Amino acid sequence: MSVFIAAELVLFAAYAQALPDKVTLSLAGTLGVFGFTITAVSWYVLERSNGYLEAYYGLAKARCSPQDLAIFSVKIERIPGTGRALAILHFAFLFLWSLLVLYYFLILWILATKG
C-alpha cells in the first residue's frame, strides 16, 4: 500500500515542479493517466486487503475463547479511522488526476476543432 502512495506522491511532485514552468500537454496527459491508474489500483489493493483483514478477524474471533472476544471490539472514538483518511487521500488524488486528464482531452479537442 505504501508503495502506491509513494508513487502518487512522486507523480504529484513531478506535477508540482512543472507548474512554475508551465504544464505541457504531454506532461498533463502522462501524469494524469499514470496517476489515475496508480490511484485506482491502490484503491483496489486497499479494498482487497481490507476484505482479507475482515476475513482473518472473523476466523480469529471464531477460534478464540469467549472471554477474549472483547479484544475484537476495541475502537478509538476520538480519532478518525485510518480507512477514512486513506479514502480521503485516494479521492483527492483521483480528483487531481481526473482534472489533469480532462485538461489533456479538452486541449486536444480545442486543437482538433481549431483547424
Q: pLDDT tens digits, residue range 4-62?
A: 778 877 877 777 776 656 767 777 788 888 888 888 888 888 889 889 988 998 898 88
C-alpha cell at 99: 482534472
Locate 36 and state its grid cell.
Answer: 489515475
Q: CB neighbours of 60 closer than 8 A, spacing ≥ 6?
A: 72
| Number of domains composing the chain | 1
Q: Which domain holds residue 11?
A: 2-114
How far are the Cα atoms of 34, 53, 107, 109 from residue 103, in angstroms, in the given order?
Answer: 15, 38, 6, 10
Q: Cell for 80?
A: 478518525
Alpha-carbon gap, residue 110 to 52, rounded angstroms:
46
pLDDT reported for residue 23: 67
Considering only residues 104 and 75, tell me which one the structure prediction assigns the higher pLDDT. Answer: 104
In the three-class reduction of DSSP (H, G, I as helix; E, B as strand; rest coil), residue 23 is classed as coil
Which residues lie below 8 Å from residue 79, measured CB to CB, with a gap of 6+?
A: none
